[in-house]
Amino acid sequence: MRRRTLLTLPALAALPARAQDAFPSRPIRMVVPFPAGGATDVWARVVAAPMAERLGQPVVIDNRSGGSGMIGTEHVAKGAADGHTMLFSISSFVQAPVLFRSTAYDPLSDFAPIGRMGTTALVFCASPAMPVGSLAEFVARARGQDLSFGSYGTGSTGHVFAQILSDHERLGMTHVGYRGEAPLLTDMLGGRVAGAFHSLTLVKEHLRNGRLKPLAFLGRDRSPAFPDVPTLLELGYPDVFGWSGFFGAWAPARVPAPARMALVDAYRAAMARPEVIRRLEEVDVIIGYAGPEAFQAEIARTHATWLDLVTRMNIRPD
């Protein structure tokens, strides 16, 4: 009896270890480095629920805003690398570190892509304080005035391209950076900033009801939702305004391969679900899923392009 008992001890001792190694063993935190209610938060929530179904554990959104997205991103980079904390972010993931030049993480080496979701049209909008009907009218009204433009984060696409627009037209507008798109929208609607680039996900209804005026789209194509609004390229602005960014999910690079691949599988499966595709299209996402390798290549290209852009344009943090 004693011998049989002793022989089973190694097997019994191994069971708790195997149970502990199972992934995921608890809820997963999906850190969004921007405030609740903004476009990034909306996109993350669309994919979180179907990922939870696949993984068998809740996927909980954790909004950690500030620092142009770098506070939440750093939190993930320095946190426990067991797969239970991941990041959902936008192009600022690589853009802000390029602009600030000194950050506590390297977006190219400290993270492993889980998957790309897509992109969205960014539209330059005029606030209610600017009674204008076109970008030309906005420029004419802003010239010679001490006006400000807002952005959802210093170093973001919205900041840099509004600054390029201001410089190109010699408007001398002042940048006001916010901790995300939701608080920027509040001040836009209140007329406290004259204009800003916004995602259609957040402002479409405000554009339709006339509370904000869409003047021109960033990128190479008009939006099907607003076919009468031109692109900046169509209005004769430089080719740099054909820019298009991305958003998606990452895990810390140190996460063990089995856990990382479980996240990749859950994200891929979520992005293939018809209801997810339908919901993303409803919030004006231009869906473009890409797996880890293709996404990593795009991230590296974006990093190089952004570095060249901010150097050539001499764009600096506020």
What the block records as the tokens of 22 is 């199972």
| Average pLDDT estimate for 24-44 | 96
Average pLDDT over residues 140-165: 93
Q: What pLDDT is recorded for position 9? A: 39
Percent of the chain with pLDDT over 70: 93
pLDDT tens for 223-239 read 989 999 999 999 999 99
Of the given ranges (79-93, 99-113, 227-241), which has the lowest mean pLDDT?
99-113
- pLDDT over threshold 60, residue 129: yes
- Least confident residue range of 10-14, 99-103, 183-187, 223-227: 10-14
CA atoms of 104 and 74, how far apart (whole Å): 7
In degrees to the nearest 10, what's the CA dihedral of 214, 174, 150, 130?
-40
Whole-Å CA distances, 149 to 171, 196, 204, 229: 11, 6, 19, 20
The string of pLDDT tens digits covering residues 107-117 is 999 999 999 99
What mean pLDDT do residues 14-18 have? 42
The predicted structure's pLDDT at residue 91: 94
Q: What is the mean pLDDT of residues 271-299?
A: 97
Ranges 42-51, 93-102, 105-114, 209-218: which has the least confidence: 93-102
- For 110-133, what is the mean pLDDT? 96
pLDDT of residue 21: 62
Look at strands 122-126 and 85-90 and give their pairing: unpaired
pLDDT tens sequence across 159-172:
999 999 999 999 99
**Residues 69 and 280 sit within 8 Å (Cβ to Cβ):** no
pLDDT, mean over the chain = 91
Backbone angles phi, psi at 32, to 5 degrees: -110, 115
> What's the average model confidence in pLDDT over 31-58?
97
Q: How confident is the model at residue 263 (pLDDT cuts 50, 70, 90)?
A: very high
**CA distances, 183 to each of 50, 62, 123, 189, 190 (Å):** 28, 17, 17, 10, 11
Judge whether residue 47 has pLDDT over 60: yes
With cut-offs at 50, 70 and 90, classify the pLDDT of residue 2. Answer: very low
Contacts of 241 (CB under 8 A, 6+ apart): 161, 164, 165, 218, 219, 231, 232, 233
Task: Place 12 in a pLDDT band, splitting at 50, 70 and 90.
Answer: very low
Distance CA 271, CA 297 (A): 20
pLDDT of residue 102: 73
Average pLDDT over residues 258-287: 97
Q: Is the pLDDT of residue 18 over 60?
A: no
| Structure-token pair, residue 296 | 């990593």
Position 155 confidence tier, pLDDT thresholds 50, 70, 90: confident
User: What number is the average pLDDT over the span 141-158?
Assistant: 93
Residues comprising the chain, all counted? 318
- Give CA separation, 52 vs 272, 285, 303, in Å: 15, 21, 31
What distances in angstroms separate CA 227 from CA 136, 197, 214, 224, one per listed residue?
A: 18, 17, 11, 5
